[in-house]
Structure 1
Amino acid sequence: MTEAKCEEILVIGDFPDNHPEQGLRDLAAIRPGADWEYISLGTQGPDFYRDLFFGGYLATMQRARQHIAQKLADSPPGRRFAIIGRGLGGLVALWAAADNRTAPIQCVVSISSTPNLDYLKDKHPHYGWPADEVKKALLDWDVSYKVPRIGSRAVLLIHSDNDSEIRANWAEEFFLLATGVSKWPERWDYHRIPGLPHVWPGSLGEPCREALSYTKQWVDQYLDDTAVVPSR
């Protein structure tokens, strides 16, 4: 097996995933020769219309977490992974690192994402939001509390200066928190890109190309780093 085939890039789309090809092949192509897989969160969960939060968002994202965990468990010895996610795919990417503490994940890139799902309450104000159940689920999905489990994996956060879906201050606050509690703060970075759209168009403009450039630099730097010692 060649060195290139020992590398795999997992790209996780946003939810709902109505345009799965937009910009995603560009993300996967940042590392020529590496294997890659696109993981779709789908256009809707199995019970999206009956129960938007539990049957839609949570069920969909949980399936993606389980799929990644199984893929990592089945990977051959010596294989190294980079995980890149956009939107809610970025939250799944962070959870993949926290869930699989000893897996060979070298680096994570989370683009236009959030460390939690609190923003959904504003996005869907007409949902019932049963207080006790929702409070527990939101806490369970807040990756801010699991930063130590990410260990020494290199994490890059990229956000727009004016994201139409997820506010930039959530990413900034998460970055400050993470670099405050992580044992490896030097392996975290954050870039705020003016004009970066939340949904990437088919023809990528300069802000998207800038995000691709930062992502490529990060993956090139850390996917080769075999000295990573995951948190135990």
Structure 2
Amino acid sequence: MIDLYYWPTPNGWKLSIMLEETGLPYKLIPVDIGRGKQFEPEFLAISPNNRIPAIVDHDPAGGGAPISVFESGAILLYLAEKTGQFMPSDLRGRYEVTQWLMWQMAGLAPMSGQAGHFTHYAPEKIPYAIERYTKEVRRLYGVMDKRLADRTYLAGEYSIADIASYPWAMPHDRYGISADEFPNVKRWLAAVRARPAVERGLAVGNELRNPTKPLDDEAKRWLFGKKPEA
């Protein structure tokens, strides 16, 4: 059994999708990031960066004490190794997937997050920031579109690179980007979304949040600058 510390966000969806894809049994443990639950000592013992998601694997390979893992990319690698799924076994294949996983972690996610923040959540509109991050997200979509021109998925076969990238590419309209601008990305989005495990993973924890409800002041304090007290 795996404990999944989770909130329904793009990074959270990576793990709910992966667990649904692999069929591993898991227990959902909600961490309400809009109410500061990510700063509670019990969670910090598992995820010292006070970010979801995190897991505790009570049945690690080889036995022994439970293993905790934080950072979504590291968790995807851990689960791929544990199950032997969605990561090639050959050297070249592994590094094809790893490169695109790191691309998502270092580029697509943080740039999309900043574009979303300055467009939708910043207390004042800063045109320079909005333009800078939106342009970078559009550039990254262009990189992905070229990559997908001659293959169905980012690293050839469906892999953790796709599982990591899809939740961040899915809300392209939030950044004013039409999928029609990037036909290969549009096709890829449809192919990933058509997987039943992806649909199930995206539905995990739907009852925990209301995407149409604006963030209240308390949530903004926790998400955008509230620091845990010493």
TM-score normalized by the length of structure 2: 0.32
More helix by share: 2
TM-score normalized by the length of structure 1: 0.31
More strand by share: 1
